[in-house]
Amino acid sequence: MSDLSVTPRFVISDSALSWSASRSGGPGGQNVNKVNSRVTLRWKPQPQKGFDDQWCHRFKKRYANRINQEGEFILHSDKTRDQIRNLADVRARLVAMLLECRLPPKKRTPTRPTLGSKKRRIEAKKQLSQKKRLRGTPRRDD
């Protein structure tokens, strides 16, 4: 296994990643009972060169349910019947998750509805009310 390059400045060393294989419940028929094709990847996210405190905090907050008591981030893959392809898949997913949390979320700028949209909303409510009123039983004039 080689180092995992997330960005040109942030590379996770091979020694920081650990993986294990186990029996999978995925596709494979009788092969599932004999071959350890499911891959579990473990990594301890901590600030380092290229992986600053804010990025690390956003990652830990977003994926807190995947971090165990020891502080290890755990990711599984059993998409294919091949252990090597599952390992490549789990490494690619880790990179995608890290890149997803790289930038802080954009701050929402509050907007107000336009006068035209308010009028259209009220008009639609009146039309719906009129339609429902016409569905009722007609009044008797005595």
What CATH number corresponds to the domain at position 69? 3.30.160.20
Distance CA 5, CA 98 (A): 11
> Does any domain span residue 141?
no
pLDDT score of 3 = 87
> Does any domain span residue 85?
yes
pLDDT score of 28 = 62
85's enclosing H/E stretch is helix 83-100
What is the DSSP-derived secondary structure letter of residue 67? B
Structural domains counted in the chain: 1
Neighbour count for residue 94 (Cβ, 10 Å): 19
Q: Residue 77: which domain range?
A: 4-100
> Does any domain span residue 21?
yes
> Does any domain span residue 95?
yes
For the chain, 142 residues long, the average pLDDT of each consecutive 10-residue run is 86 89 71 79 90 92 93 91 90 94 91 96 96 85 71
> Does any domain span residue 138?
no
pLDDT score of 38 = 87
Provide the CA 74 distance to its chain's centre, in angstroms. 14
> Does any domain span residue 113?
no
